[in-house]
Structure 1
Amino acid sequence: MLNILLVDDDEVDVMNVQRAFKKHNITNPLFLANNGFEALDMLRGDPPAVPIQRRLVLLDLNMPKMGGIEFLRELRADDRLKSTPVIVLTTSNEDDDKVEAYNLNVAGYILKPVTLSRFLESMAALNKYWMLCEMP
């Protein structure tokens, strides 16, 4: 079982992820944070709101308060969290964002598809990939 933290402030995108999980029978627990501050609190809590074992973060870059790149910098600077796998799921097609995200060791960078059907397909493919990966 994979514990997935979705960090996204867009309600429509959050609902689309939830729809994709339901449509493709993805039963992994899905935790929600509206920005990087909330996400870090959920990961650092005592006990953490997101279980430590088999964590994955789906991260939007464009958010208020603390955006995705700033969140990644904080995450990678924290000895307890730096190995957490992160997939960027964003509308940002900026080369600078891609380079910076990969420099901060993201596991992938996915552009949010425009149509719901493509979004659903993307989530299904992502789920299949992570189910094949060995994680502690």
Structure 2
Amino acid sequence: MGNASILLVDNRKAIVECIRKSFSEIEVKHTLFSAANENEAWSMLDGSEKITPIPKIIIIDINRTKNKGIQFLTAIRNHTDLKSILVFVITDSKTDKNKVAALNLNIAGYIHMSFESQTLNPFVSVLNDYWNIIEFSSQK
């Protein structure tokens, strides 16, 4: 896949650092950006803080922000330039409240897991292998 960018959306600094650490330990070569919330993420995707090129992958815990996560995913899927972004929901929440809605928005995966290195590293390793074998269009 080359060196694509990945956007992590989570407001918990400890989780962001844990994921960054896991990316480093697995030696993920992709650039990891982080946004504290959906508004900040949207600004990075289509606003004043726009990331270029647009990230190919978003990792988000939609269960942290009530319905804002589903609204964010809906906006991505309705946006011409963003709808092809792969979205992975990783969550430590045991509620299925948003699971069906997220799956109906064609997310790439909904994964329930704890945010500890012994469970996160194997997950990041599998995702890294996946990202390295899939092909993306050079178009938007």
| Cα distance, 1:104–1:32 mapped onto 2, change above 3 Å | same
**Amino acid aligned to 1:121:** P
CA RMSD of aligned residues (A): 2.0
Q: 1:51 aligns with which of 32, 53, 57?
A: 53
Deviation of 1:60 after TM superposition, in Å, equals 1.2
Matched, 1:26 2:21: no
Counterpart CA distance in 1 for 2:133 and 2:127 is: 10
Mark the runs of 5 or more structure 1 residues left unpaired by the alignment.
Answer: none
1:8–1:14 contact (8 Å) kept in structure 2: yes
Percent pairwise identity:
36
Unaligned segments of structure 2, at least 5 residues:
none
Q: 1:13 to 1:86 in 2, by over 3 A?
A: same
C-alpha spacing 1:47/1:34, structure 2 compared with 1 (3 Å): closer
CA–CA distance in structure 2, aligned partners of residues 65 and 92 of structure 1 = 12
Q: Report the TM-score when normalising by structure 2.
A: 0.85
The residue aligned with 2:133 is 132
The equivalences for 1:75-114 within 5 A come to: 75-113=76-114
Query: How many Å apart are 1:46 and its aligned residue?
Result: 6.3
Q: Is the 8 A contact 2:86 2:107 kept in 1?
A: yes
User: Comparing 125-134 with 86-95, which one deviates more in the overlay?
Assistant: 86-95
Residue 10 to residue 110, structure 1, CA distance change in 2 (3 Å)? same
**Gap change, CA 1:46 and 1:36, over 3 Å in 2:** closer
